[in-house]
Amino acid sequence: MTQEKRKIDPYTLHVRQDDREKVPLILSPPLPREHLRVARLWTGDYTLYGTQSRVCEVEVAGPHPLDNVVSIERKRPAELFHTVGKGRRRFLAELTRLAAINRAGGYACILVEGTLASIYRLARDTDILAERRVSPATVVASLASWSVHHGVPVWFAGGQEEAARLALDLLAAAAEKVGWKGPEG
């Protein structure tokens, strides 16, 4: 089996991170600090700097421009219980925008900073079930449904370090897909 040769090195990317990320992924090092910019993103938590010039329209309570054509929405397992429960309506609007990116030829996904087992373990080892009133089976079924019905892939990473590494690999592969030429291109 031959390994696919990557055209874009993930450590040369210029990444924008949403300024509302409470516990951001640690992308640098190895991503140089000057390659990471914090800004308000309309969709997702991480994108490539320079893809915001390609704009597509989506209807979400009126037309809203998408600020990028590559978007990663990062979720920690505990956040998923809120997203599926009380935050469902807001997240469905986000999911609609992520799906629009994929339909427009870009790449958008949900990156879970954990495993399927960590979702069930969180429910078993904490009082999140009583707080959120959402079962782990409902969380997993929602992720599966959203992926199938909206065309937004869901990726699981073991923890923060693995999620950071996977985020960079996803951004590099997406950069190739959309023809990213760098932060100015």
Joined together, the tokens standing for residue 49 give 């700097």
Selected residue with higher pLDDT from 98 and 52:
98
21-25: average pLDDT:
87
- DSSP per-residue codes, 90-123: HHHHHHHHHHHHHHTT-EEEEEEEB-HHHHHHHH
pLDDT at 48 over 80: yes
**What is the phi/psi pair of residue 138, to 5°?**
-70, -40
Domains of the chain, each with CATH number or no CATH: 11-178 (3.40.50.10130)
Per residue in 121-169, pLDDT (tens digit) is 988 888 776 666 889 999 999 999 999 999 999 999 999 999 999 999 9
Q: Is 25 exposed, middle or buried (0-12, 13-18, 19+ CB in 10 A)?
A: buried
Q: How confident is the model at residue 179 (pLDDT cuts 50, 70, 90)?
A: confident
* Choice between 95 and 127, residue whose per-residue pLDDT is larger: 95
pLDDT of residue 5: 56
Minimal CA–CA distance to 52: which of 180, 150, 171? 180
Cα–Cα distance list, 151 to 14, 38, 57, 100, 154 (Å): 26, 27, 17, 9, 9
Instruction: Give tens-digit pLDDT for 123-132.
Output: 888 877 666 6
The mean pLDDT value for 8-33 works out to 85
Rounded Cα–Cα distance for residues 148 and 150 (Å): 6
CA 39/CA 21 separation, integer angstroms: 10
Residue 61: pLDDT band by 50, 70, 90 thresholds? very low
Model pTM? 0.86
